[in-house]
Amino acid sequence: MNSTVIDRADVADPASHGATEPGVAAFLRSSDRPMLVDGKWVEASSGAAFAVGNPTNETILAHVAQADAQDVAAAVAAARRAADDGRWSGLHPAQRSLILNRVADLLERDSEMLAQLETLNNGMTIHVTRGLVQYAISLFRYYAGWPTKIHGATNPGDPSMLNYTLKEPLGVVGAILPWNGSIGASAMKLAPILATGNCAVVKPAEQAPLTVLRLGELLLEAGLPDGVVNIVTGFGPEAGKALTEHSDVDCIAFTGSTATGKQILAASAGTLKRTILELGGKTPNIIFPDADIDAAVQTALFGFTYMNGQGCALGTRIFVQRDLYEEFSAKLSVAAKAMTVGDPLDESTGLGPLGFRAQYDRVNKYIGIGRDGGATVAHGGDNPDRKGYFVRPTIFTGVTNDMRIAREEIFGPVASLIAFDDEDDAVFQGNDSDYGLAAAVWTNDITRAHRMAGRLKAGTVWVNTMAWLDVSCPFGGYKQSGLGSELGPDSIDQFMQTKAVFVKL
Ligand code: NAI
Ligand code: MG
């Protein structure tokens, strides 16, 4: 584990990263980043900290506290006290709404600072991170409307009995976040967790915790009571595991890899926690010849390069009807060639670096696996000659759906082009996956579009578009893409217990 005693000698000058928003350098310069426990910013009890990097220039942005099981226990205890004394759940629901709206206001105020900080930490282009901040704002706005609209019911049972239900918060929710889009992922968990009156311990990903720590500052500024949200920075097998095993945590909400999701489910079984898992995907993007081909090409490129290819629902298996295959792969390669790979803070950049060294190594390894498995690189497959974890948009042709690059989540800007014969074949191959998070269909035949939407085993189906989510619409997956679903009213249900009351009349 990259544990060091804090020594700032190796931290790059905050000004050297190129962010134009003064708040970014101020945030990086202010101090080492402590964690948030019970409304206070604290170092790890062991004094340990670890370095957080900038994947564009391979320098260190800051050090953050490295939580161990003892620190996690302190954070859980703070959340437990806050949950039990009702300092949050006992407020008037309108008051909770007001505070959540204030969080959205503060995110708006600091939106450019947050976008730039996120870009420095995870390498996603400034256009993407601006979008993620807007997504976080819309999540807080949407869930700010819920506290005053959560109802139990009176049930039509035996007349000698008054029977009603109460909707209660679960108590303490542990939120374990991935590094791809920290600000969006943290809002996706926290907005509904808070709207339902729960308290939380958040563990950001070790690679990209900075915007989550900044969000912690904004939550306090918005007037959230101490201890309602605690943020522990640290590594999965240490801090994350301690959180999943803790008996005072009532629910774990996780986004990340399927392998880690399985470990979390096993670890939370000891205390039988409610477990919500948003895991991997291998989205089929199916192109029929009657589609608008130029739009399908542009969107297919966006569909596997958005977030530098690091998104759970990205369209990494592109199925093209056999007669269209040559034309489509040629056009997609031309589009990929036109994409600017470079500094993600630059407004003209279309693709930034991968999030960190291990992810870069992993994606390069998969490109080798694709070649060794017999697929052909139609575009990319190499790394631009510059510092940073850059991989060019990579298109494999001659791929069959049984190859490893078509079955395993690569999490980089790498697409596999697979031929299909007809609709039945497209459905069969598209569904032939361990995952079932999303699917896309391109056709101008309205009957086929709806037929395909019904036949594809995916939690979300896009027709003539891709990678679209809405805060009001549930998002979840079939098979090994997860357990439960998020967004819309589903997140409200998942973070609440329905209690039945019977009163003898
Ligand atoms: P990961 O799933 O291991 O990490 C996600 C979060 O889980 C991090 O906060 C991590 O610290 C935590 N964690 C790790 N092990 C844990 C444990 N035993 N108990 C509790 N928490 C734990 O993902 P990682 O290693 O960062 O990325 C590896 C691959 O996973 C990627 O290449 C990608 O394929 C996939 N991935 C998929 C995501 C998605 O949204 N579908 C998000 C992140 C990763
Ligand atoms: Mg891992």
Do the beta carbons of residue 131 and residue 186 sit within 8 Å? no
Ligand 1 touching residue 263 (CB < 6 A): yes
Is pLDDT above 50 for 492?
Answer: yes
CA 152 to chain centre: 31
Q: Cα(259) to centroid of ligand 1, in Å?
A: 8
Closest residue CA from atom 6 of ligand 1: 178
Over residues 468-483, mean pLDDT = 97
Query: For residue 223, what are the contacts with CB-CB under 8 A and spacing of at least 6?
Result: 99, 102
pLDDT at position 30 is 67
pLDDT tens-place string over residues 75-131: 999 999 999 999 999 999 999 999 999 999 999 999 999 999 999 999 999 999 999
pLDDT at position 8 is 61
- Nearest listed ligand to the Cα of residue 237: 1
**Which atom number of ligand 1 is nearest to the Cα of residue 362?**
32
Closest residue CA from atom 18 of ligand 1: 237
Do the beta carbons of residue 433 and residue 284 sit within 8 Å? yes
Ligand 1 touching residue 122 (CB < 6 A): no
pLDDT at position 4 is 45
Over residues 174-182, mean pLDDT = 95
Q: Cα(234) to centroid of ligand 2, in Å?
A: 12
Both tokens assigned to 335: 């589009």
Closest residue CA from atom 9 of ligand 1: 205
pLDDT tens-place string over residues 219-251: 999 999 999 999 999 999 999 999 999 999 999
Do the beta carbons of residue 255 and residue 178 sit within 8 Å? yes
pLDDT tens-place string over residues 394-441: 999 999 999 999 999 999 999 999 999 999 999 999 999 999 999 999
Q: Which are the catalytic amino acids?
A: 278, 312
Ligand 1 touching residue 176 (CB < 6 A): yes
Ligand 1 touching residue 438 (CB < 6 A): no
CA distance 59 to 123: 12
Closest residue CA from atom 14 of ligand 1: 236
Ligand 1 touching residue 362 (CB < 6 A): yes
Closest residue CA from atom 25 of ligand 1: 257
- Nearest listed ligand to the Cα of residue 260: 1
Query: For residue 420, what are the contacts with CB-CB under 8 A and spacing of at least 6?
Result: 286, 319, 320, 321, 322, 426, 429
**Which atom number of ligand 1 is nearest to the Cα of residue 409?**
34
Q: Cα(205) to centroid of ligand 2, in Å?
A: 10
- Nearest listed ligand to the Cα of residue 259: 1
Closest residue CA from atom 10 of ligand 1: 236
Both tokens assigned to 78: 């703070």
Ligand 1 touching residue 186 (CB < 6 A): no
User: Residue 452: pLDDT band by 50, 70, 90 thresholds?
Assistant: very high
Average predicted confidence (pLDDT) for the chain: 96
Q: Cα(165) to centroid of ligand 2, in Å?
A: 40
Is pLDDT above 90 for 253?
Answer: yes
Distances from the Cα of 495 to the Cαs of 53, 165, 182, 243, in angstroms? 33, 16, 20, 17
pLDDT at position 10 is 81
Query: For residue 273, what are the contacts with CB-CB under 8 A and spacing of at least 6?
Result: 244, 249, 250, 251, 252
User: Residue 72: pLDDT band by 50, 70, 90 thresholds?
Assistant: very high
CA distance 56 to 60: 11
pLDDT at position 32 is 78
CA distance 17 to 304: 27
- Nearest listed ligand to the Cα of residue 235: 1
Q: Output phi, psi for 40, to 5 deg.
A: -120, 150
Q: Cα(485) to centroid of ligand 2, in Å?
A: 22
Ligand 1 touching residue 275 (CB < 6 A): no
CA distance 187 to 203: 13
Q: Cα(8) to centroid of ligand 1, in Å?
A: 27
Ligand 1 touching residue 393 (CB < 6 A): no
- The secondary structure element, H or E, covering residue 394 is strand 394-397
Q: Is residue 178 classed exposed, middle or buried when 0-12, 13-18 and 19+ CB atoms within 10 A define those classes?
A: buried
- The secondary structure element, H or E, covering residue 405 is helix 404-407
Helices 93-109 and 126-144, axial angle in degrees (round to 10):
160
% pLDDT > 90, the chain:
95
CA distance 282 to 316: 6
Ligand 1 touching residue 411 (CB < 6 A): yes
- Does pTM top 0.85 for this prediction? yes
- Nearest listed ligand to the Cα of residue 411: 1
Test site for ligand 1: of 176, 186, 213, 260, most ligand atoms within 8 A of the Cβ = 260
Mind giving me the DSSP string for 47-110?
A: -EEEEEEETTTTEEEEEEE---HHHHHHHHHHHHHHHHHTTTTTS-HHHHHHHHHHHHHHHHHT
Place of tokens 């082009």: 417
Over residues 140-164, mean pLDDT = 98
